[in-house]
Structure 1
């Protein structure tokens, strides 16, 4: 199914914003970011603007390996599904995308959580599937270092197969609640999964009936070879990064080819590149905003960020010198998409300091900075080129940058007919133009 207007998701990497040091901004909120009122106000503002979804990112560890003392533990955050469950009670249409790692959780628990969120939200749940690439995360789950990259993606694929089977273990209409006969459910429509694979052994059935969407919307963001293959096999939404139209069109062609191998059509797979919108009354004022954020980043923090992205401790090297030899991507067990970006920066002969500032201020995401009209122009050009189905909005500093986008760019996009002015009816899948999956177990029972 095709949507003619943009899909827009608001991405919250940290509760104060996507800039690593946004918590130091003079306007940044304090400990209110650990309470429901802060997120309620943001979620309801997004819903008033007809933004499609709120996407809550996650790590299952604190940053404390490379990051300098000023940034230690700066990724403290609430657990996404808990937060989104609370927000489901104070919103009516906003999609609720939560991150859960397939490396450090179990498919039964995850399938149950998202089925529950889908019921509670009347069909607005979405799962951002990640495989986790930080050693700090591995150390919280009985390991000394990260899981091998290939194993992580093999586990993720099997994990998704198990989750889908569990969501299918109850057919539509299985719940009877027949008080006269005493039959709670039709046993012919409830099925054991009996999965036994390389990574999981799961009996089933799930103890939550089939939810409004059948499956929550599946979201994935990895752009490595393994990530692209996993996405085109399982995902409904795909978040990526690109810096220009040609790069984005090449990426789209590659993903369309992979979709064809899976027997899927491009309309079943929505690509949303991440952009960082910085709204100001002029391009000069937008540049001032960016430069102000740069002043919040100590050089030591920049070095530590580069170390984290490339998996090499750079603390003893000259900050104005080049990157050293980097790990071989084929044998790298961290986040290979990040390593590929480091290799691209190395090819440009950028210094460690310069790369660190790029990561702290942009995170590798394309910046669209300037007036509301200029940002809308660039978004329109990308969208109409066919490279994407919408955008993943990554705000440097919350709530200010989100407020500026909602109050100035959104009306301009709506005036041009590029963005919805009211929500479509139905579940999140219906709103995004995605089909409800059929029940694979029930079809063959």
Structure 2
């Protein structure tokens, strides 16, 4: 959290307009618009300013992943887009509501944060073709590898997992990481009473994210349902195979999303911030200057 605060302060250390670059007047910088941040905290001591001008985006888009208590606090304070884990629109809405409620306490508005659940896709021309592709991919996955990944995610010995039995009754929550994937995985397993083998398949090799298998129309309908019910603002796509899984999505799913009116036909801006329709942050020194000018005008 302190690291992020320091980096954001450094991004603000150059006001807009600080870089002049005027050969005629031999002025390169307006030094009045460069500022030291003079940060001194428990982990960092940084005077500043940064050694490069302010980004065209104001700040690069700040993305975060992690749904533990600490992760949610960090997201509410700093994140502009969040890579989350959700297996139903209801879970997506609940997570977003919690983060936005926390963010409001820091003076942040609900439109300042986007939620992008992970989505793994397996796409075929027909549902049978998609299922056949899924089976072919499963045949390529060593089950011991998938079992080891699941055991690592749960932070238990692999010997405790029996492929054709449900998860062990007692699974302590990890203390030092992976709490988000742990919670999502155990929740799905308990809710649907899945064996370890079924759980691995449901989670696409124990990635922890939702897997969707079907035709382009089925994929597009599912995405639209999530979007229209507030379950997600977009998705962190994880196609089954790269690059052709992504190419299939772009060529066959994206046109359907455009017809539904929920995906752009072209880009209106030049930056990731523009594409995400996120507001451009006002630098804190710029805000202070504008406030000072406003006060001066009122006095005048």
The two structures have a TM-score, normalised by structure 1, of 0.60
1:327 and 2:172 correspond: yes
Moved more, 300-309 or 421-430: 421-430
Deviates more, 1:316-325 or 1:410-419: 316-325
Distance in 2 (alpha carbons) for counterparts of 1:280 and 1:251: 31
Inter-partner Cα distance in structure 2 for 1:380 and 1:293: 26
Deviations 1:293-344 (A, max 9, x none): 1112222112210121012222476444444432334xx1021112213432
Q: How far has the Cα of 1:274 moved from its partner? A: 1.8
Preserved contact between residue 85 and residue 117 of structure 2 (Cα < 8 Å): yes
Q: Deviations over 1:152-186 (max 9, x none)?
A: xxxxx111100011111111111233446654312
- Residue in 1 that maps onto 2:294: none
Contact 1:302 1:357 in 2 (8 A): no
Two-structure CA RMSD over aligned residues (Å): 2.2
Cα displacement (A) at 1:368:
2.5
Larger Rg: 2
User: Does the CA-based 8 Å contact 1:167-1:215 persist in structure 2?
Assistant: yes
Comparing 435-444 with 402-411, which one deviates more in the overlay? Answer: 435-444
Alpha-carbon deviation of 1:196?
A: 1.1
**Structure-2 change in CA distance of 1:362 and 1:293 (3 Å):** farther
Secondary structure class of the residue paired with 2:146: helix
Distance of aligned partners of 1:344 and 1:360 in 2 relative to their CA distance in 1, 3 Å threshold: same
| Unaligned segments of structure 1, at least 5 residues | 1-156
Correspondence 1:435 to 2:279: yes
Distance 1:278 1:424, change over 3 A: same
Alignment size in residue pairs:
287
Which of the residues 262, 283, 295 maps onto 1:418? 262
Which has the larger displacement, 163-172 or 343-352? 343-352
- Give me the TM-score of the superposition, normalised by structure 2: 0.87
Which residue number corresponds to residue 128 of structure 2?
284
- Asked if structure 2 preserves the Cα contact closer than 8 Å seen for 1:303 and 1:315, the reply is no
Instruction: Establish whether residue 186 from structure 1 lines up as the match of residue 27 from structure 2.
Output: no
Counterpart in 2 of 1:207? 51
SS in structure 1 at match of 2:10: helix
Greater relative contact order structure (CA < 8 Å, 6+ sep): 1
Deviation of the 1:254 alpha carbon = 2.0
Q: Is the Cα–Cα contact under 8 Å of residues 165 and 441 in structure 1 kept in the other structure?
A: no
- Answer yes or no: is 1:266 the counterpart of 2:142: no
> Is the 1:176–1:183 Cα contact (8 Å) retained in structure 2?
yes
Q: 8 Å contact 1:276–1:362 — kept in the other structure?
A: no
SS at match of 1:243: coil
In 1, the alpha carbon distance for the partners of 2:275 and 2:143 equals 44
Taking the aligned partners of 2:271 and 2:252, their CA distance within structure 1 comes to 28
Which residue of the partner structure matches residue 39 of structure 1? Answer: none
Q: What's the CA shift string for 1:54-93, capped at 9, x where partnerless?
A: xxxxxxxxxxxxxxxxxxxxxxxxxxxxxxxxxxxxxxxx
With over 3 angstroms needed to count, the CA separation of the structure-2 counterparts of 1:259 and 1:346, relative to structure 1, is: same
How many Å separate the matches in 2 of 1:163 and 1:199?
13
Query: Secondary structure at the residue paired with 2:21?
Result: strand
Shift of 1:203: 1.7
